[in-house]
Chain A
């Protein structure tokens, strides 16, 4: 067998952690990981946040981010040891033999330079080609990656192209120096589902045509199943399972892998449309101040007491704006919002304390939804004090009750948000909303920032709480698996308007309108060959193109 392109043996990676108030200590990020990658193959690295997947990916160019040290093992690139290579030796490897595609293309491109300049920069820097040659190479790559007008695409600035196109431009940048190995670090995570497909297909084709080896890092098993040949499952910096795509997806051996695969398969039986309507949005049109464009166009939806309405759409579809209109943060220009039998004032200032109390909100980023200088007890206690005038022991008892409800044990009340995990933070936000005894909670992408297993836990908690408290949810999300798991009725939004609305069983059953079809078919499925099927059978171009 030919010499392996990349061979990592017993890799150990450490970093120094600085916990507040304690002495700095060394922590092991990656321990005893070994992998082999042949030329032209794609290895998927998968795991939750903190699993060490990006750290391992970057180690393939002997790089440690922000104080991360590669302390043990060997990293061989075509037989050359690179972990202990000199700075000059590394410079020759990075950007030439090994290149990198980052998650956020928008943050990775220099907004002041044209795309072409940036795409061919490393190629020129390493003296791999003349400027004309490099530009020709880039144009060919643009064409291969399905970018519009490949000849002139490079003359645009980063802000002039869409997110999906920018991600493909970065792929072109990585492939331009004709590297041996490309590291893809969550290249599609920040994209909408319908755009993700195009980028995935483009990346897959480009890898196949150029014959490079690739490390594909992601947290989404369904995505990695489409592009990889082999998969390594990681957890807490250790290898859990390593095998071919077929074996991992169809016959996972480890319990953790099985859990990752069965995630997002939660189903929730739809409730009958019998309960009284608690929220009724009628013909609401809204625009942001100083603009001349309606971001919500005649939106009408109803939500029944104790049920869940999922508002689905891609970024820019107006789903979060709908939440702002309902909460009164963005007063609508026309239309009515009726809540619990009364008409709500358009702006926040005109609403009674009871209006505010009965309509609570949970945010996507739990970190910034809680004041970092308040303890969990203060955060949950404030609504109790504010709405019900609870004080002293009565308040403490209620705080503990709420903490029990969100399945967090004793001793959390005195902690600060920074001392909690992502899932715990979101639970505290849920408790804060519940403390007001609301009729309706607006959940704005509450599981999007969480790891799949943690997100599942939050969804289960929300469903359980709905049974106990009888609270209704307006659930804003871009993720259809989440919708299936939690919704009773669904509103699909596209460019500020509701294009499809009804009970879950109706919305998710054919015949579909074109947009819903696109959206539904774009959700990655955990089986091999899905990507090709979808691309072949699409009726509508995605918005990102």
Chain B
């Protein structure tokens, strides 16, 4: 590790804090996740740092456990969307012809339907489990990754070194993973930070609408939903998830920017 710029350092520290909090939630959280420990909507105090929620649970505890669920689901969905999206996108770019046409037009079709509506329809007919949530979110988002990956790969696929590999007789797998992927990584990594945050917002939206993470499990969107009526009475419980999402979004993108800068150096991406 060479010198890390201040912005990236801030991003790293905050992101790491969120991740650690999510990972060690049971150790950090002052109370049990679903335990009713106080009165309804108690204000901040030394006992309940962020106050209590609509049925008397500690908001800080809920936030920590909520972060765990939200980050885990968003992360899994992002990984799913990037693997499917980029593999399909690269394949479309490398194979070309009718395979490319078929994939691209199918993706256009899916993208033509508003993502949220699509998700709502699917989730309302299927049992809402963590797995279906991740699958629906990841696959829907992979359309956007597909677009990016294909565009980047089309540019790379016409380079002479890819042609040289084809003339050598290399298999498609080598061309995709060894010739194209390393050169497409920078824009994909930058996009990944962005998409992760959209996934956080997406799962929060779904939970807010009641089709996401189901109670009593905590998640950030759910916390807003459970406490939204309190806003009228000046209870800030519903605003904490918003602050959490905003800070996480900024810090993750600071890190993504830094990784992008590191990897764009054409020395194989190992220098800073």
Contacts and interface: CB of A to CB of B under 8 A. Distances in A.
A357 B265 CA distance: 33
A353 B168 CA distance: 8
Interface residues of B, number: 22
Interface stretch (B78-86, B156-164, B214-222): B156-164
A418 interface: yes
Interface in B168-200: 168-170, 178-179, 182-183
B105 interface: no
B233 to A, nearest CB: 56
Contact of A371 (B166, B169, B182): B182
Interface string A335-355: 000000000000010010100
Contacts of B161: 368-371
Contacts of A453: none
B271 interface: yes
Contacts of B265: 20-21
A426 interface: no
Contact of A419 (B160, B267, B269, B272): B267
A359 B169 CA distance: 11
Contacts of A348: 166-167
A212 B214 CA distance: 82
Interface in B146-163: 159-161, 163
A327 B168 CA distance: 10
Given A20-B271, A361-B167, A386-B170, A418 B266 contact: yes
A363 B160 CA distance: 8
Given A371-B183, A386-B168, A329 B268 contact: no
A382 interface: yes
Interface in B99-134: none
A157 interface: no
Contacts of B2: 21
A419 B160 CA distance: 19
B97 to A, nearest CB: 10
Contacts of B266: 20, 372-373, 416-418
A375 interface: yes
A156 B54 CA distance: 74
A298 B163 CA distance: 26
A371 B170 CA distance: 14
Given A348-B166, A348-B167, A373 B160 contact: no
Given A20-B266, A21-B271, A416-B267, A373 B183 contact: yes
Interface residues of A, number: 32
B272 A21 contact: yes
A383 interface: yes
Interface string A365-392: 1001111111100000011001000000
B169 A416 contact: no
Given A21-B2, A372-B183, A356 B167 contact: yes
A418 B267 contact: yes
Contacts of A363: 160, 164
Nearest to B159: A368
A360 B179 CA distance: 18
A359 B167 CA distance: 9
Given A348-B166, A416-B266, A365 B160 contact: yes
A363 B167 CA distance: 12
Given A21-B2, A368-B161, A369-B160, A375 B268 contact: yes
Contacts of B269: 373
B268 A361 contact: no
Interface in B215-272: 265-269, 271-272
A209 to B, nearest CB: 44
B1 to A, nearest CB: 12
A369 B164 contact: yes
Contacts of B182: 371, 373-374
A356 B182 CA distance: 25
A374 B169 CA distance: 18
A348 B172 CA distance: 13
A418 B183 CA distance: 14
A229 to B, nearest CB: 42
Given A21-B2, A371-B183, A373-B269, A361 B169 contact: no
A181 B163 CA distance: 46
Contacts of A374: 178, 182, 268
A371 B168 contact: no
9 contacts: A20-B267, A21-B267, A329-B166, A356-B168, A356-B169, A368-B159, A371-B179, A373-B269, A436-B168
Interface of A: 20-21, 327-329, 348, 351, 353, 356-357, 359-361, 363, 365, 368-375, 382-383, 386, 416-419, 432, 436
Interface of B: 2, 159-161, 163-164, 166-170, 178-179, 182-183, 265-269, 271-272
Given A360-B167, A369-B164, A419-B267, 18 more contacts: A20-B265, A21-B2, A328-B167, A329-B166, A348-B166, A357-B169, A359-B167, A365-B160, A368-B160, A371-B161, A371-B179, A372-B266, A373-B183, A373-B269, A383-B168, A386-B168, A417-B266, A418-B267
